[in-house]
Amino acid sequence: MATLPRDRVVEAPAFSQVGMDFAGPLYVRVGRKTTSPRYVCLITCMVTRAVHLELVPQMTTARVLQALRRFMARR
C-alpha cells in the first residue's frame, strides 16, 4: 500500500488542510413549474475526512469566493 500524504498523517486541527470540488448542476424547483440550476461546493477536511457542503447558485468567480468566505467564517 502506498504511503499517505504528510497532511493526512500529521496531527492538526480539523479543516486546517482542505480539498475542494464542485458537483452539479442540480435543478432546484423555484416555483410551481420553474427550475433553476444550482451547484454544490464540496469541501473535505484532509485531517478528519469531514465534509462541508455549500450551495452555490452560479458557477461564477464571485459566487465561488462567497461560498469559500462562508466556509471560512464557520470553520
pLDDT at 8 over 80: no
**Domain segments of the chain: what residues?**
6-74
| pLDDT at position 52 | 96
Interatomic CA distance for residues 66 and 11, integer angstroms: 29
| pLDDT at position 54 | 95
Give which of 72, 73, 64, 18 is closest to 55, Cα–Cα. Answer: 64
| pLDDT at position 61 | 96
For residue 54, is it left (φ>0), alpha (ψ between -120 and 50) or beta? beta
pLDDT 10s digits, 9-59: 778 888 888 999 999 999 999 889 999 999 999 999 988 889 999 999 999
